[in-house]
Amino acid sequence: MLMTFYIMFFCGLWVFCSSRKHLLMTLLSLEFMVLILFMILYYYVNMMEGELFITMFFLSFAVCEGALGLSIMISMIRMYGNDYFNSFGLLQC
């Protein structure tokens, strides 16, 4: 079961590294990797019979990361009109 989580995580990592066109696809792959990391953490904590409060901290940080990514994407869409990486220069102010 743990090997399945690792395979899913590396599939998300592969999509993150290979998607260079849209910001939305990179954000979705990052959220997929965070979800898989949450499942691995939950599985590990249950296996060790520990407290589950650490998973709530992890989820709160994951939500903050997702909100920050969406806000950056919305500001990019408002400024440039789309979420293509090649439509804006990274070195522009």
CATH of the domain at 21: 1.10.287.3510
> Count of domains in the chain?
1
Residue 71 pLDDT > 70? yes
Domain-embedded: residue 93 = no
Tokens at 50, concatenated: 């520990």
Within 8 A by CB and 6+ apart from 16, the residues are: 26, 29, 30, 33
pLDDT at 92: 54
Q: What is the DSSP letter of 48?
A: T
pLDDT digits (tens, 9 = 90+) for 74-86: 988 888 787 777 7
What's the pLDDT at 79?
A: 80
Between CA 88 and CA 3 the distance in angstroms is: 39
- Is the whole model's pTM more than 0.85, yes or no? no
Distance (Å, whole) CA 91 – CA 42: 40
What is the per-residue pLDDT across 2-23, written as a single tens digit (0 to 9) for each?
A: 899 999 999 999 998 987 788 8
Structural domain of residue 62, as residue ranges? 2-87
Does residue 35 sit within a domain? yes
* 21 Cα distance to chain centroid: 16
